[in-house]
Every structure is written in structure tokens, then in C-alpha cells.
Structure 1
Amino acid sequence: MTVLVGIPPETVDRVWPLIEERIEEACAASRGKEAAFDIRRSARHGEKQIWIAWDEAAKDALAVVVTEIAVYPRKTVCHIQICIGERRERWQQHVSVIEAWAKAKGCRGMSLVARPGWSRVLKPFGYELTHHLVEKDFHDA
């Protein structure tokens, strides 16, 4: 059985060895916006939240999700910043755990920036593709 576990800020350091490699991999794909250290620091301070899809039988982390609450003038949303793991079909349905937590925190929606395939994965859960993010780095800056 797989469960999604929210990691309280005070226990981030205890679970970090289980997730650090995946967080580093995700940050490497973020075009230099953040490093794993930055995620760890923000999670310790409660600015970001870490979620682990935990395989109880194998005693192993299948996936890591990092969220943050984004407060806009007219709406607060829970933004999924990172979602990385393996055997997605065993834990993807647990997005409902994050949604329930977000609602309890006063969020009125969810958002994420992800590879195009995620829009197909999340469609059965009520998500719809609304934007594509296109980026450019200035290499001379």
C-alpha cells in the first residue's frame, strides 16, 4: 500500500536523506531557479511543504512532491512546484490528500507547472491545461 505523507517542518532534516537525490534531480531541470538546499531551507521554515509517496511494504519513498501556497490579491492557491518519482500509477491518486490540506489552509485552487504529459495524467482528477510555460535563459547575464 502507498500513502502520501506530509512532512512537518521540524522533521525535514530527518527525511532529507530519503529524498535529497530526487529533489536535486528536479532542481537540475528547473533551469537554475533553485537548488535542493533552497528547497530544504524553505521547507524547514514552513514556506514550502514536502510530501512523500511512501510504499509501506517496501519501506521506500516512491515519489516526492513539493508544494507552496501562493497568495494572490483575489485567490490563494496551492502550487505543486515539484513532483518526481517512479511507479506513478501507485500514488498519483493521492493528489486528493494535498487538495484536502490546501482547502483546509484556505486555498481556492491548485496549480502546477509540469511537463505536457502531466495534463493527461491529472485530467481524470479534474485538472485542465490552461497555459504552457515557455522559458529562455540569458547566457550572457
Structure 2
Amino acid sequence: MRFGEQAYLPFREQFVALDPERYPPEYIDAQVWAGFWACWGTDRAAILAEIKTYPSGLREVHGLAAAGDMQEIVALIPMAEAWGKQQGCRLASIESRPGWVRVLDDYEVDQVRIVKELSDGS
């Protein structure tokens, strides 16, 4: 198991390809290098997470992205959860594709995010 840059670098190309329109590669790199985003990884998978602090003071470990083998990804999530608890987090969340609801049965749907692209005629 690797943590930080050593976990991120082998999967960097997969992470930066996930949503470059919203998260340019330079931004993702900077978040990891500065320690704002944490990364856990093995030879076959890696996950990225951040700590979100709400105005109330509630802290949440928030899963941002994952790359690689699904079973390895699922095995890495408890490490991120434990890290979040050490950082004072009371919640863990993952914002991703709907399929994660089926894979992570110990998580429950809290909110749904829907998106509409606006054009000049909308």
C-alpha cells in the first residue's frame, strides 16, 4: 500500500482524464502536491479524497475519484475512512456515478446531483 504522491503518480493519467473540462491536470496535480487531496494506492488501484469542513464545523472525508481495479478500489476505501476519522471527520461521502450505490452497500444515498448544460437557446 502506498500513500500520497507514490500512490498518485502511477494512476495520474487516469485521474487527469476523468473530467478535464472541470478539473484540469495542473489543478489535480497541485491539490495532491499541496496535500489538499490525499491518495491511497496499490499496484492495481488508487483513490483520491479530501476533507470537507462545513460552516457548522462538521468534517467529512469526501471520495473524489478512483482508478484501477474495482476490488482494489473497494479495499482502499476503509483506509480513507480511517484517515478521515483520525482527522476528526464524522461522515464519509463519495460523489460519483450511480453504480457506486450498488458496490458500496454500507453507504446510503443522501442527495442526488443532476446537471443540465446551458446553451444560448436555453
Summarize deviations over 1:66-110 as a string: whole Å, max 9, x none: 111100022110111111222x12441331111110000111111
Q: Which of 3, 6, 22 in structure 2 is aligned with 1:6?
A: 3
The unaligned stretches of length 5 or more in structure 1 are 55-59
Residue of structure 1 in register with 2:16 after alignment: 24
Residue of structure 2 in register with 1:64 after alignment: 46
Q: Structure 1 115/71 Cα, relative in aligned 2: closer, same or farther at 3 Å? A: same
Q: How many residue pairs are counted as aligned between the two chains?
A: 119
- Counterpart amino acid of 1:37? E
Residue of structure 2 in register with 1:57 after alignment: none
What's the RMSD between the two structures over aligned residues? 1.9
Query: Percent same amino acid at aligned positions?
Result: 26
TM-score for the superposition, normalised by structure 1: 0.74
The alignment status of 1:113 with 2:110, answered yes or no, reads no
TM-score for the superposition, normalised by structure 2: 0.84
Q: Which of 36, 44, 49 in structure 1 is aligned with 2:33?
A: 44
Shift of residue 20, structure 1, vs aligned partner: 1.9
Shift of residue 114, structure 1, vs aligned partner: 1.2
Q: State whether residues 8 and 46 of structure 2, in contact with CA within 8 Å, keep that contact through their aligned partners in structure 1.
A: no
Q: Secondary structure at the match of 2:83?
A: helix
